[in-house]
Amino acid sequence: MSSPTLSHQSRTHLERSPGFVMGVLNTAGSTILAVSLLSSAVVAGSLVGLAISFRNLPDVRLLQGYIPSETTHIYDIKGTPLASLHSEENREVVPLDDISPQLKRAVLAIEDSNFYEHGGVNPVGIARATLVNIRSGRTVEGASTLTQQLAKNLFLSPEQAITRKLSEAVLALRMEKVFEKDEILEKYLNQVYWGHNTYGVETAAESYFNKSAADLTLGEAAMMAGIIQAPEAFSPFVDFEVAKRRQEIVLNRMLELGWITASEAEVARNETLQLGQITSFTRSRSPFVTNTVVQELTDRFGQEALMRGGLRVQTTVDINMQEAAERTVQEWHQILYSQGVYADQMALVAVDPRTHFVKAIVGGVDKNKTEFNRATQAIRQPGSAFKPFVFYTAFASGQYAPDSSIDDSPVSFDDGSYERYVPQNYDRTFAGTMSIRAALAQSRNIPAITLGQRVGLEKVIDVCRVMGIKSPMPPVISLPLGSVDLTPLEMAAAYATFASNGWQSPTTAIAQVTDSSGRLLLDNTPKPQLVLDPWAAAALNQTMTSVITEGTGRSANIGRQAAGKTGTTSSERDIWFVGHVPQLSVAVWAGNDDYTRIGQGATGGGFMAPVWADFMRQALRDQPVEYFKPASNFTRPASQ
C-alpha cells in the first residue's frame, strides 16, 4: 500500500500553501475518526478476503500498456485544423505535467481529498459518507475513491450492485500496488467523462473554455471539477447558474482543506468565464477533403485506428486553394444555371504535378447538404477529355508526332453487332487530311478513333493503368471518345503526369500521419518515378496548348501557357474541362446525379473551360509563369 505521506513529485503537482498537508490530515472531524478507527480493521480485513474471492476480475497490470481511445485530428498542409474524428469518445490524452495544478487540486478536493493518503479504498471516506447519508436520510455523498472510480470506468459496468462495488474496491487495491499515485491520477483525468461526449481533461478544457488544460484558472478548474458528478446536468452549456453553484461548492471545499486562501477563492468566484463550444461531432471545415482523407486512412490503418487512435493527419490540401475551389463551384453553378445549363452538381479537383499531392477537392455544389464526393465516388464519361491518352500512346509508339497527318473522313467498323459502328464528329462534318495537332485542337472524333485502332486499344488501356487510372476500362471501339466511366480525381491526376513530362508519385491527399505523441506512422514524401516517355509527354503538352490557343478550349485562356482538353458526351449528360500548367493540374465536371441531360448545346468548351480558367487564375495568382519543356529537349522514341 502506498505511503500516506506526499511524495516530492506530488507536492510539485498539488501544493500551493503550507495548509495543504494539514488540510488533508484534518478533513474528518473527531466523530468520523472514531468511527473510522472501528471500521478500518473490519474493512481492510474484509477486502483481503474479497481479493482472494474475486480471482476472475481483470488483471490491472494490463493497464501498463493501455492506450485510451483518442480523437483523430486532420489539418491542411500548413497546419490549419480541418476536422476531428472520433467514435463515442472525444478524447485527447495529455501527461500529468500538462494539466493545471489548479484543476488537479480542484478535482481531488471534491472527489477524493485523501487520495495521497489511502491505499485505494478510504475507510475515513466511507465513515464520513455513512454519517452524512444517515443524517440526511438519503444518499448525498459517495465513498468511492478516485482509484475506485477509475477501476469502475475502465473495467466494470455502471450497475448499482453490491457485487460491483466490492469488485471496484478489490480492483482499486490491486491498482494501488501496481501504479504510482501520480500515474493513477493521470489515467483518471484522461479517462473521466466531462459531458457532451467529451472525455478527458484536455478535450473538456478545449470545449468548455477554449484553452488547454495546462492554462485553466482556478475559477475554470473549480467549475470543471464541480460538474464531474453529473456532467450533462451541471454543464455550463446547459445551465450556467447550476455550474456556478457547483463551482462554489468546490471552492468552499478547497478553502476548508486549506488548499487555497480566502482571497484566492474570492478572485475565482468573481472571475469572468468565457465559455467555448461543444466540440464533439462538429462538422468538418471542408467535408469533401475529410471524405477523401478518411477513405485513404481507412484503407491504410482501418476504421478502429481512424476513430479511436488519436492520429494527427497532415493533408496535402491548401485550405486557401480549397476554399477558392468551393467558391468557384458554388458561383459558377448559379451562372451556368442562368445560362441554361441545368446541371445539379459540379466537381473540381486540383493536383500538383510535381508531387501528385491533391491541393483542392470539391465533390458537389453544397458541402453542407451532402458529403457524397463526386470527385472520388462518382464515375462519369469524360467524352473527348479522354482523347489525350490515345494521342500520347500514338506519340509514344514513335510513329506519330504533333505535325503528322491524319485523315478526318467517314469510317466504319465491325463492332460485333448486327450494325457496323459509324463514328461521327460533333458537328457532323469531315475536315479531310489534317495534322494531329489540329485534330486534337478541334476535337475531331474520327482521327481519335482511327489512332486508337492503329496503336491498339489495349495499349491505350495499359497507358491509363500506368498513370494510375483504376476504373474498369473495356477495349470498345468508342473508347477514344471517352466511352468509359472515370472520376474527376483520376482525370486530374493523369493529366498531372502529362504536365510533369511523365514523372509520377502516387496521388494522395495525405502528406503524413503521426500518433498523438508525434511518432511518424506514414510519410508520403513524393518519390517520383518516370512512367511515361518524356518526348511523347512533351509532344502531347505541346499539342494540347493548341486546344486553348486555337481550338475548342479558347475560353480556358488564362494569360499564360497552359494545356488542356474539353470533354462533352454525346448524350449531353457530362461536360468537362481538364487542363494543366507545370505547377497545377485541374479537372472540372458538371452533370446530374440521375444522368439526365443538362441542356441543349452544353459543351465542355463553352461552359466548363471558363470555370477552369476562373479557378486557375485564383490558384496561380501568386505563382510565377512556367513553361512546358519542348519535345526537342528529349529523344524521340524509335518507331515500333
Active site residues: 111, 384
SS3 of 367-384: CCCCCCCCCCCCCECCHH
Helices (H), 54-89: none
Around Cβ 294, how many Cβ atoms within 10 Å? 23
In angstroms, the Cα distances linking 331 to 328, 426, 488, 631, 638 are 5, 29, 19, 38, 48
Reported as type and span, the H/E element at residue 610 is helix 609-619
Helices (H), 210-339: 218-226, 231-234, 240-257, 262-270, 287-301, 303-308, 319-338
The DSSP annotation for 7-21 comes to PHHHHHHH-SSTHHH
The grid coordinates of residue 50 equal 474479497
- Could you say which DSSP state residue 96 is in? G
d(CA 357, CA 585): 10
Sign of CA dihedral 198, 204, 206, 212: negative
3-state secondary structure of 213: helix
d(CA 580, CA 176): 64
Q: How many CA atoms lie within 13 A of 447 on its CB side?
A: 28
3-state secondary structure of 81: strand
In angstroms, the Cα distances linking 617 to 221, 548, 555 are 50, 15, 13
Q: Determine contact, residues 486/344, Cβ cutoff 8 Å.
A: no
d(CA 557, CA 579): 11
In 3D, which of 154, 134, 138 has the Cα closest to residue 146? Answer: 154
d(CA 392, CA 582): 17
d(CA 438, CA 441): 5
Q: Determine contact, residues 217/271, Cβ cutoff 8 Å.
A: yes
Q: Determine contact, residues 628/337, Cβ cutoff 8 Å.
A: no
Sign of CA dihedral 36, 38, 43, 45: positive
Q: Determine contact, residues 585/351, Cβ cutoff 8 Å.
A: yes
